[in-house]
Amino acid sequence: MSTNGAQSSPGYSMGPHTLRVPMELFALNRRRLCEALRPRVPDGAVVLLQGGDEVPLYCTDVSYNEFKQEAFFQWLCGVQEVGCFVALRVSDGRCVVFVPRLPAEYAVWMGKLRTLEEFKSKYAVEETAFVDEIPAVLQSLGATELLVLRGVNSDSGLTCKAASFDGIDKFKVDYSTLHPIISECRVIKTPLELEVIRYVVRVSSEAHVRVMKSVVPGMMEYQAEAVFRHYVYQHGGCRHVSYTCICCSGNNGAVLHYGHGGAPNDCGVMDGDMCLFDMGANYYGYASDITCSFPVNGKFTADQRLIYNAVLKANLAVMNAAKPGVSWVDMHRLANRVMLGEMAAGGLLKGDVDDMLKAGLGAVFQPHGLGHFMGLDVHDVGGYLDKDPPRPTEPGVSKLRTARVLQPGMVLTIEPGCYFVDHLLDAALADPVKSKFLVADQIARFRNFGGVRIEDDVLITETGCEDLTKVPRSVEEIEKTMKEKEGGVEIPSHITKVKHGLPSNWHH
């Protein structure tokens, strides 16, 4: 890992205890993009991307959370400031960063204004200029055609914001070429990108272990979230998390994206429940995404062990099978096959596993896809580009965020899960095809169980799959780790002694 110290080349870090990210990472990204574009675009083509702007909190003069740069822009130049643009001449890779021309009084509120030369040095680019100089600078670059970003994100369904500036109508603009090519570049990570991803996954892994050692019956879900967020910022310099933290306990574990505004990790963590904590830190834009499931009291019951081991075996089966040339769709089906087989062996299901898969039973217990690309977005781009296999249509598999064949350099999550969702169980029990596989009285025992998800961040290598996540995974490892308590959240005695009169949302 790189260390922060006396460095001659520009780079980013959050202090001597954190990873130093060299600006060469972004220079390499620019070279890769130019190489991919040159055979497809005319001489004089210039890529133009627009960075992010701060978003006001409704009608107030306060911004919505801390600013986080737009991911395509970040990938190309690493610029952190708001309101910027970047131009990249495809023929030779010359890069120009444009920054806003700010009034002098800005310095009173926001600090000293950097000069253009200081921006040039900070980001190691060939040229810097002000945003109001974009037309003149593009002319000096010999721009005959602007390649701007417009494409649909296959996860959100939203369209990328194409760069726009006063005077763009004087240029020929190509809105279609850039998006699929830059997205494909982002799918395959460089060694420098992988160093950042390894770092943020390691920090997040350590934070999950700290949470395991801190959880005690009677605390609140948000207190576990606070332990995680404190650790990744204090010890890893990670100001951001990559998504809303999902801190479920008990039946909340059956809510896939728990933690939203209507259920903000606000329930009590009770003795006998399972925790499902899905949290990932973010460092200089790069994401991590890890889920750990474990019993609140540190000791698995027989039922908890049954479901947990079914999910773990599915996770490990994919980990052992994932390699270049393998279809991600086949990996999803493998996970379902293993998990359903283990549930049948445990007495919850009956019948032939192949028939269960044909009936779509996997989607009853795992209604989401096996995993997704990860990089500068937690659900990273490139899942369904036009050249790739289309989205499958069968139940459960249709939720996959990509159907691609695996390649070296891809980073994905492997996250099988098993959940007991009332309305899905009710529908399956009422279905004449699915119900014949369900042992109804055994399934009833798992009502209010919640769920188990085991999510690892992995790299596809030349020969297989490398797990970047470093957390306890076996039942035995988890139980051993949870015995090593590390200053868990202190629960006031007036809460631990209360038997009645708790707020209605304190438990599930």
Check whether residue 159 and residue 212 sit in a common domain. Answer: no
Check whether residue 167 and residue 39 sit in a common domain. Answer: yes
Q: Which of 196, 189, 205, 166 is nearest to 477 (CA)?
A: 205
Q: Which of 138, 172, 187 lies at the terminal end of a domain, its last residue?
A: 187
Residues 100-151 pLDDT 10s: 999 999 999 999 999 999 999 999 999 999 999 999 999 999 999 999 999 9
Domain membership flag for residue 495: no
**188 CB-contact burial (10 Å; exposed 0-12 / middle 13-18 / buried 19+):** middle
* Out of 101-110, 180-189, 222-231, least confident range: 101-110
418 three-class SS = strand
Write down the pLDDT at residue 396: 86
Under 8 Å between Cβ of 402 and 180: no
Check whether residue 221 and residue 142 sit in a common domain. Answer: no
Domain membership flag for residue 497: no
Check whether residue 254 and residue 176 sit in a common domain. Answer: no
> How many residues in total does the chain contain?
508
Check whether residue 211 and residue 100 sit in a common domain. Answer: no
Check whether residue 310 and residue 449 sit in a common domain. Answer: yes
CA 139 to chain centre: 39
Judging by DSSP bridges, how do beta strands 127-130 and 95-99 pair with one another?
parallel
pTM of the model: 0.94
Domain membership flag for residue 82: yes
Domain membership flag for residue 489: no
Residues 38-70 pLDDT 10s: 999 999 999 999 999 999 999 999 998 899 999
Check whether residue 206 and residue 259 sit in a common domain. Answer: yes
Check whether residue 347 and residue 436 sit in a common domain. Answer: yes
Residues 350-408 pLDDT 10s: 999 999 999 999 999 999 999 999 999 999 999 999 999 999 999 889 999 999 999 99
Number of structural domains in the chain: 2
Domain membership flag for residue 180: yes
The answer, yes or no, to whether residue 253 has pLDDT greater than 80, is yes
Give me the CATH number covering residue 131: 3.40.350.10
Give me the CATH number covering residue 384: 3.90.230.10
Check whether residue 179 and residue 199 sit in a common domain. Answer: no
Tokens 């079914």 correspond to 310
Tokens 């119900």 correspond to 435
Check whether residue 276 and residue 175 sit in a common domain. Answer: no
**158 CB-contact burial (10 Å; exposed 0-12 / middle 13-18 / buried 19+):** exposed
Check whether residue 275 and residue 342 sit in a common domain. Answer: yes
Strands (E), 280-366: 281-283, 286-287, 290-295
Residues 6+ apart with CB under 8 A from 419: 253, 254, 256, 365, 366, 367, 450, 451, 452, 453
Range of the domain at 224: 191-483
Q: Which of 141, 156, 187 lies at the terminal end of a domain, its last residue?
A: 187
Check whether residue 90 and residue 181 sit in a common domain. Answer: yes
Write down the pLDDT at residue 8: 67
